[in-house]
Chain A
């Protein structure tokens, strides 16, 4: 019994720490979703690029994943603006909301983009690569707390708080929020919708790529271009839906929920991470059926 309690507590802590990182990854998608009202299907591939950014900074500059976060975020801002003008501008321009046809176009074109990125990455970097960074662990009672996971969780929550501050306390942030609510009204207030949307999408991408850098701590077998997108993109979608699309703290609630389901759930599913992951992603369906606005009100 004491063994089980120790195991349970360990998985609880690991689940919460993992949940924070999953939250920040999904947070990037949440911002993009909130601004453009559409899902970037290639989301997982940008997480992967963020992870590779951290890897190359580690390889050539000796940076640990935490230090590469601001650089990844800066790259993400530029990438995101490029993405906006390449994929969304034509569909969003001059419209009050994205119609079903535009939504279909965006879904399919970003799906094509994900295929391009994954296969280029796979042919350049054939083998999974990892970052050697282990700052040790502390023993709290029966529970080992890895410092790497702890630092990363703190930075993750800080990133979410920072975006929330930006969106609620600055002029540009308020403009972005206004844009997500009512585009014609925003224009009447003298705000340029193109600039606001580009900055909003850029911000989403910088959070996504920073999240990719943070995720590397949780990838013991290394960064594998064929696996990251396939797993973390659907998980991000589920987290955003759980928390409620467009709700900034919803990402954290959803992320912690999924982290707990995966880590604590596997204890009750015969230690099978695979089954726990299946359960975690399938929570999407009851949530959509019974509480489509997400857990948060």
Chain B
């Protein structure tokens, strides 16, 4: 086991940590408009890292990731609205329920590959929506309105901690021994199995982590929105935004999800002022162009064409 020192940590991780550190230091002094922008950016980044665990690292495209985000939100809403817990405990509840759900769903659907996994994930999200509509404890079709205070600093630090843990785990996976196994699954799953990679267990662990963090990020998102409504919470748009972020940034990389989150979130905020719905048209066009012509995303393309950056970004 190599000893971890600053030298071996790598510039990308240090860069992300410095970025997060600066944000944490100045969060209290930011003007409210900027702080709200940063909180949402961090929520988007947390969602991007969460889908990166499964789709980015193993190549299993999940179209149903909105399910975990919505379950996280419902966990929060139930914990705060019905059980009268503190919102942070609600976020934890949502994350844990998401984790359990991801373990259950993943144990079955991760057996399917490629197109079949993608379809199965989309179908479970659709079924989740219809089932929630019938659960009166979760507000049925009306959703849940929460009566929580306006606490931007609490939102900021909660999502900050979630994102920091995600970045740490992503680094640990991509740079540890686990990473070799996972990369081999993405390259050729059958070959990986024959050389002794425990593919099924690895995939399930990644899917569970992915569900956990999507749920946590969803919890903070709906804490900030102080309520959850099924039609919006299960909207396929969220799945697409998550996928778009890692496609644009670079799948399976450490820096890609953050780049993608910045690109998608800022462009969505900018174009929102032009015409409602137009921001998604732009993001959709970006996804199509990048998927067809630059399948490695921003990070992969930079590494390919600018050799000087290869040691710096990963």
Residues of A within 8 A of B (CB): 38-39, 41, 87, 90, 100-101, 103-105, 107-109, 111-116, 118-120, 122-123, 229-231, 233-234, 237-238, 241, 272, 274-275, 277-279, 281-282, 284-285, 288-289
Tell me the minimal C-beta distance from B104 to chain A in angstroms. Answer: 11
Tell whether, in the assembled complex, residue B118 and residue A284 are in contact, meaning their CB atoms are under 8 Å apart: no
Known: A234-B126, A278-B127. A112 touches B120 (CB 8 A): no
Asked if B276 lies at the interface with its beta carbon under 8 angstroms from chain A, I say yes
Tell whether, in the assembled complex, residue B130 and residue A278 are in contact, meaning their CB atoms are under 8 Å apart: yes
Tell me the minimal C-beta distance from B251 to chain A in angstroms. Answer: 9
Residues from chain A with Cβ under 8 Å of B278 in the complex: 119, 123
Tell whether, in the assembled complex, residue B115 and residue A38 are in contact, meaning their CB atoms are under 8 Å apart: yes
Residues from chain B with Cβ under 8 Å of A114 in the complex: 240, 284
Tell whether, in the assembled complex, residue A115 and residue B291 are in contact, meaning their CB atoms are under 8 Å apart: no
Partner of B134 from the list A116, A231, A238, A274 (CB cut-off 8 Å) is A274
**Complex interface bits, B278-309 against A, C-beta within 8 A gives 1, otherwise 0:** 10110111111001100100000000000000
Tell whether, in the assembled complex, residue B284 and residue A107 are in contact, meaning their CB atoms are under 8 Å apart: no
**Complex interface bits, B119-146 against A, C-beta within 8 A gives 1, otherwise 0:** 1101110111011011000000000000
Minimum CB distance partner of A225 in chain B: B277
Tell whether, in the assembled complex, residue B236 and residue A41 are in contact, meaning their CB atoms are under 8 Å apart: no
Asked if B63 lies at the interface with its beta carbon under 8 angstroms from chain A, I say yes
Tell me the minimal C-beta distance from B284 to chain A in angstroms. Answer: 3
Asked if B108 lies at the interface with its beta carbon under 8 angstroms from chain A, I say yes
Tell me the minimal C-beta distance from B277 to chain A in angstroms. Answer: 4
Asked if B111 lies at the interface with its beta carbon under 8 angstroms from chain A, I say yes
**Tally of contacts, chain A with chain B, CB under 8 A:** 132
Most chain A beta-carbon contacts within 10 A, residue among B113, B133, B134, B292: B292
Residues from chain B with Cβ under 8 Å of A238 in the complex: 119, 123
Residues from chain B with Cβ under 8 Å of A100 in the complex: 59, 113-114
Asked if B275 lies at the interface with its beta carbon under 8 angstroms from chain A, I say yes
Show 14 residue pairs from A and B whose CB-CB distance is below 8 angstroms, ordered by the A residue: A38-B115, A108-B243, A111-B63, A112-B288, A115-B280, A115-B283, A116-B284, A123-B277, A234-B119, A237-B122, A241-B119, A281-B127, A284-B120, A288-B112
Tell whether, in the assembled complex, residue A112 and residue B244 are in contact, meaning their CB atoms are under 8 Å apart: yes
Tell whether, in the assembled complex, residue A109 and residue B281 are in contact, meaning their CB atoms are under 8 Å apart: no
Tell whether, in the assembled complex, residue A109 and residue B287 are in contact, meaning their CB atoms are under 8 Å apart: yes
Give Cα distance in the complex from A274 to B131, angstroms. 7
Tell whether, in the assembled complex, residue B120 and residue A285 are in contact, meaning their CB atoms are under 8 Å apart: yes
Residues from chain B with Cβ under 8 Å of A289 in the complex: 108, 111
Tell whether, in the assembled complex, residue B119 and residue A104 are in contact, meaning their CB atoms are under 8 Å apart: no
Interface size class of B (residues with CB under 8 A): 35 or more
Minimum CB distance partner of A284 in chain B: B123
Tell me the minimal C-beta distance from A240 to chain B in angstroms. Answer: 9
Tell whether, in the assembled complex, residue A288 and residue B126 are in contact, meaning their CB atoms are under 8 Å apart: no
Tell whether, in the assembled complex, residue B284 and residue A119 are in contact, meaning their CB atoms are under 8 Å apart: yes
Known: A109-B291, A112-B286. 11 other contacts (CB 8 A): A100-B59, A105-B295, A107-B61, A108-B287, A115-B237, A116-B280, A233-B122, A237-B122, A281-B123, A284-B120, A289-B111
Give Cα distance in the complex from A103 to B295, angstroms. 12
Residues from chain B with Cβ under 8 Å of A116 in the complex: 280-281, 284-285, 288
Give Cα distance in the complex from A273 to B253, angstroms. 42
Give Cα distance in the complex from A116 to B118, angstroms. 20
Residues from chain A with Cβ under 8 Å of B276 in the complex: 123
Tell whether, in the assembled complex, residue B280 and residue A285 are in contact, meaning their CB atoms are under 8 Å apart: no
Tell me the minimal C-beta distance from B83 to chain A in angstroms. Answer: 26
Tell whether, in the assembled complex, residue B123 and residue A234 are in contact, meaning their CB atoms are under 8 Å apart: yes
Residues from chain A with Cβ under 8 Å of B291 in the complex: 105, 108-109, 112
Closest 5 A/B residue pairs (Cβ): A112-B287, A115-B284, A116-B284, A278-B130, A109-B291
Tell whether, in the assembled complex, residue A275 and residue B130 are in contact, meaning their CB atoms are under 8 Å apart: yes
Partner of B115 from the list A103, A119, A285 (CB cut-off 8 Å) is A103
**Complex interface bits, B215-250 against A, C-beta within 8 A gives 1, otherwise 0:** 000000000000000000001110010011001000
Give Cα distance in the complex from A278 to B124, angstroms. 8
Partner of A277 from the list B130, B236, B275, B295 (CB cut-off 8 Å) is B130
Residues from chain B with Cβ under 8 Å of A90 in the complex: 292
Asked if B158 lies at the interface with its beta carbon under 8 angstroms from chain A, I say no
Residues from chain B with Cβ under 8 Å of A101 in the complex: 295
Give Cα distance in the complex from A112 to B236, angstroms. 12
Residues from chain A with Cβ under 8 Å of B174 in the complex: none
Tell me the minimal C-beta distance from B189 to chain A in angstroms. Answer: 9
Asked if B109 lies at the interface with its beta carbon under 8 angstroms from chain A, I say yes
Known: A123-B278, A278-B126. A115 touches B287 (CB 8 A): yes
Asked if B172 lies at the interface with its beta carbon under 8 angstroms from chain A, I say no
Tell whether, in the assembled complex, residue A112 and residue B285 are in contact, meaning their CB atoms are under 8 Å apart: yes
Asked if B270 lies at the interface with its beta carbon under 8 angstroms from chain A, I say no
Known: A38-B115, A115-B287, A237-B122. A282 touches B61 (CB 8 A): no
Give Cα distance in the complex from A90 to B59, angstroms. 20
Asked if B157 lies at the interface with its beta carbon under 8 angstroms from chain A, I say no
Residues from chain A with Cβ under 8 Å of B295 in the complex: 101, 104-105
Give Cα distance in the complex from A274 to B277, angstroms. 27
Give Cα distance in the complex from A120 to B61, angstroms. 25
Known: A116-B288, A285-B109. A104 touches B61 (CB 8 A): yes
